Homo-oligomer: A and B are copies of this chain.
Amino acid sequence: MFAIAATLLVLELRVPRDVRDLGGALLGSWPAYAAYVVSFATIGIIWVNHHVLLDHLRRVDRPLLYLNLLLLLSVAIVPFPTSLMDEYVLTEHGTIAAVVYGLVGLLIAIAFSSIFLYATRADGLCADAATARRIREEGRLFPIGLAAYVAGIALAFVSPIASLAVYGLIVVFYAFPQLPAASR
């Protein structure tokens, strides 16, 4: 599903039609490409981290599946705020576009943190308590990610493009610490 949502993003990159200066129209669409890359990377990093987390679980239960559905819902909706960014980030409505984008990012971060906390609680779904404790330690960085989305939303009132840049930096941040990939 991460794969599907990420691939659907391309449908928001619309080919300019009936234009005289195709090169100029393409270059002028750079916010659309920037939003595409940020959204793709956001979904991609969540995908990798989600996959790595699930590899450390011994079993799944219904609450985890439902938290998972919440994460999937929020990830699946990403093409919508991305399209809003494409269309409006350079206009007078840029603030609204960047705020909506940040709210979806915040929803994803909350859903992922919930899965993380639920899955690694003491009597949880991990193979053993030691693994759960070690994984949880890595979760200390989560509040930073949440705060960064809030900062990005606040920044949208000053500069929507700067806000998009912050959302891109959050992806870089999430890409670094984290669990090691499970061996095959």
A interface residues with partner B (beta carbon < 8 Å): 1, 3-11, 13, 15, 17, 22-23, 26, 36-37, 40-41, 44-45, 48, 57-62, 65-66, 69, 72-73, 76-80, 83-84, 87-88, 93, 96-97, 100, 175, 178, 180-181, 183-184
Contact = CB atoms under 8 A, between A and B. Distances in A.
A184 B59 contact: yes
Q: Which of A4, A58, A184 has the most CB of B within 10 A?
A: A4
A79 B10 contact: yes
A96 B26 contact: yes
B60 A181 contact: yes
Contacts of A1: 3, 6-7
Nearest to A76: B7
A181 B26 CA distance: 40
A62 B180 contact: yes
A15 B77 contact: no
Copies in the complex: 4
A73 B47 CA distance: 13
A94 to B, nearest CB: 10
A13 B77 CA distance: 9
A175 B67 CA distance: 12
A18 to B, nearest CB: 10
Nearest to A17: B87
A184 B76 CA distance: 26
Contacts of A23: 93, 96
Contacts of A8: 7-8, 10-11
A-B complex: 3 closest residue pairs judged by Cβ atoms: A1-B3, A22-B93, A44-B69
B77 A184 contact: no
